[in-house]
């Protein structure tokens, strides 16, 4: 089977890595990958099912992809979280899909496709060997992701992940080191998992810092960024190692989800408002230049206006560098689905807007302090007015960016940029120096 494959990958960076394993299977079988869906004979839709909106987006992507059957498209493969969790209702209804695979079924891509060409539609969810084969990297050459674990220990009352991905499973350290080495020259390696800081606990003891030390020893890895760090497990050992290791970006993504004790308890979170504020202060005492990002859920069942305003006051006190805010999504099969006093969607949307406005003011004040200073920027490519990149407190596609002018700039190179102005999200300036002359 020598077909040309295209892929639409939705959802988080963890899902991206799963998609890259599917692409690796395609390359291993000697097939072609194209970014032009009009040329694809087989289209893979790598789905997300975390929220209802994500499920709707995934189904719409399949329906949109089906329109390419008027050209070269022969088969649509639906894979990822959506079929993993909802195959019973999805398979009979989504007849546009020819092959259905779950989150650990990359090894079954070609056997299932061959069956589909012979016999018709195929449900192969759950038939794979959960082999973590070689990846075909789909991100920019200088920015790559390493998924260090799958599943989740936590039982947050709003979350479907444990029902989709199962219990937390750390990947063996020796396999992760070999995978990171195989990625080649990497300016920024982003570590992801549902909870990176719990790495190793399913095997008896937390081994996150030992993993970081082994990764930092690799010559091909120039820097590492840590995402999805559960607040309870941001330990002194971790903070002290970050302080001592220049390869670790001074950036922590710590999803807090709320600030008020009653809501946190109902969410199944173990922290409190005061514990979170103390943690933030402690992190900054060990890492004075650290950037802290977080995410929050607004409109959780029974959240009062007073608790909403208290969350705004928490933001003003915490002074986080970047935040994402999401309206609570009522998900079937989660405990919170049956909670009383569900919040009206219009109220949730209004509260999210107010949270964003509060954080915008905080972020704008922070970014304004960089005007007139120079910052190191990793160039991600060309923008409409010149070039675009990120400094240490900006994660790719999550936070803001630095837009800068230069006589020339190269993707993956680092530059000293003099900041001339700022807004609530982004910085703007001019490159004054390249800091890694050897960058390819």
DSSP 412-423: T-EEEEEEEEE-
Predicted pLDDT of residue 433:
81
Token representation of residue 132: 């973590």
- Among 40-54, 118-132, 362-376, the minimum mean pLDDT is found in 118-132
pLDDT level of residue 440 (50, 70, 90 thresholds): very low
Task: For residues 268 and 388, state if they share a domain.
Answer: no
Last residue of a domain, one of 95, 123, 151: 123
Task: For residues 299 and 386, state if they share a domain.
Answer: no
Task: For residues 231 and 281, state if they share a domain.
Answer: yes
Task: For residues 378 and 347, state if they share a domain.
Answer: no
CATH number at residue 417: 2.40.50.140
Predicted pLDDT of residue 277:
98
Token representation of residue 137: 């990297």
CATH number at residue 111: 3.40.50.12160
Predicted pLDDT of residue 327:
96
Task: For residues 282 and 323, state if they share a domain.
Answer: yes
Task: For residues 163 and 295, state if they share a domain.
Answer: yes
Task: For residues 81 and 200, state if they share a domain.
Answer: no
Predicted pLDDT of residue 117:
96
Res. 33: pLDDT tops 80 = yes
Mean pLDDT (whole number) for 301-322: 98
Mean pLDDT (whole number) for 106-111: 94
Last residue of a domain, one of 339, 367, 395: 367
Predicted pLDDT of residue 24:
93
Q: Is residue 158 part of a domain?
A: yes
The C-alpha atoms of residue 191 and residue 250 are separated, in whole angstroms, by 14
Q: Is residue 17 part of a domain?
A: yes
Task: For residues 266 and 316, state if they share a domain.
Answer: yes
pLDDT level of residue 438 (50, 70, 90 thresholds): very low
Q: Is residue 138 part of a domain?
A: no
Mean pLDDT (whole number) for 266-288: 97
Task: For residues 175 and 92, state if they share a domain.
Answer: no
The C-alpha atoms of residue 90 and residue 93 are separated, in whole angstroms, by 5
Q: Is residue 136 part of a domain?
A: no
Q: Give the count of domains, the chain.
A: 3
- Give the domain extent around 269: 143-367
Task: For residues 399 and 428, state if they share a domain.
Answer: yes
Chain segment 181-199, per-residue pLDDT in tens = 999 999 999 999 999 999 9
Task: For residues 65 and 113, state if they share a domain.
Answer: yes
pLDDT level of residue 100 (50, 70, 90 thresholds): very high
Res. 439: pLDDT tops 70 = no
Cβ-based neighbour number of residue 131 at 10 Å: 12
Q: Is residue 135 part of a domain?
A: no
Q: DSSP secondary-structure letter at 171? A: P
Residues whose CB is less than 8 angstroms from the CB of residue 346 and which lie 6 or more positions away in sequence, other chains included: none
pLDDT level of residue 129 (50, 70, 90 thresholds): confident
Predicted pLDDT of residue 181:
96
Average pLDDT, the chain: 94
Mean pLDDT (whole number) for 15-23: 92
The pTM of this model reads 0.92
pLDDT level of residue 434 (50, 70, 90 thresholds): confident
CATH number at residue 281: 3.80.30.20
Task: For residues 148 and 71, state if they share a domain.
Answer: no
Q: Is residue 40 part of a domain?
A: yes
Q: Is residue 131 part of a domain?
A: no
Res. 133: pLDDT tops 80 = no
Q: Is residue 248 part of a domain?
A: yes
Predicted pLDDT of residue 116:
96
């Amino acid at each position: 089977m020598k077909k040309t494959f295209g892929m639409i990958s939705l959802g988080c960076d963890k899902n991206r890595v799963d998609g890259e394993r599917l692409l690796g299977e395609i390359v291993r079988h000697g097939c072609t990958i194209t970014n032009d869906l009009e040329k694809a004979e087989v289209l893979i839709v790598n789905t997300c099912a975390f929220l209802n909106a994500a499920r709707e987006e995934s189904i719409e992507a399949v329906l949109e992809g089906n329109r390419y059957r008027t050209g070269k498209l022969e088969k649509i493969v639906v894979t990822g979280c959506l079929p993993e969790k909802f195959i019973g209702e999805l398979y009979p209804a989504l007849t546009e899909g020819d092959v259905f695979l779950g989150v650990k079924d990359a090894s079954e891509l070609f056997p299932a496709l061959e069956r589909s060409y012979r016999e018709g539609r195929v449900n192969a969810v759950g038939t794979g060997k959960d082999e973590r084969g070689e990846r075909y990297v789909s991100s920019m050459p200088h920015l790559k992701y390493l998924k260090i674990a799958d599943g989740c220990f936590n039982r947050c009352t709003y979350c479907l992940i444990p029902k989709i991905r199962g219990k937390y499973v750390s990947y063996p350290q020796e396999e992760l080191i070999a995978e990171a080495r195989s990625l080649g020259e990497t300016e920024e390696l982003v570590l992801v998992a549902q909870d990176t800081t719990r790495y190793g606990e399913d095997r008896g003891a937390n081994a996150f810092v030992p993993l970081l030390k082994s990764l930092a020893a690799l010559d091909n890895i120039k820097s590492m960024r840590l995402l999805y760090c559960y607040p309870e497990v941001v330990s002194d050992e971790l903070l002290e190692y970050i302080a001592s290791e220049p390869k670790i970006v001074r950036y922590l993504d710590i999803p807090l989800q709320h600030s008020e004790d009653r809501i946190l308890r109902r969410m199944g979170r173990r922290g409190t408002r005061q514990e979170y504020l103390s943690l933030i202060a402690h992190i900054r005492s060990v890492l004075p230049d650290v950037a802290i990002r977080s995410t929050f859920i607004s409109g959780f069942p029974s959240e009062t206006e007073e608790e909403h305003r208290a969350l705004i006051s928490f933001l003003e006190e915490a002074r986080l560098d970047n935040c994402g805010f999401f309206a609570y999504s009522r998900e079937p099969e989660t405990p919170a689905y049956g909670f009383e006093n569900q919040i009206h969607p219009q109220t949730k949307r209004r509260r999210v807007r107010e949270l964003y406005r509060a954080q915008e003011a905080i972020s704008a004040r922070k970014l304004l302090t960089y005007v007139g200073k120079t910052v190191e920027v990793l160039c991600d490519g060309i923008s409409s007015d010149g070039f675009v990149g990120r400094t240490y407190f900006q994660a790719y596609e999550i936070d803001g960016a630095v837009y800068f002018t230069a006589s020339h700039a190269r993707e993956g190179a680092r530059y000293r940029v003099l900041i001339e102005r700022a807004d609530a999200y982004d910085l703007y300036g001019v490159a004054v120096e390249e800091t890694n002359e050897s960058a390819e």
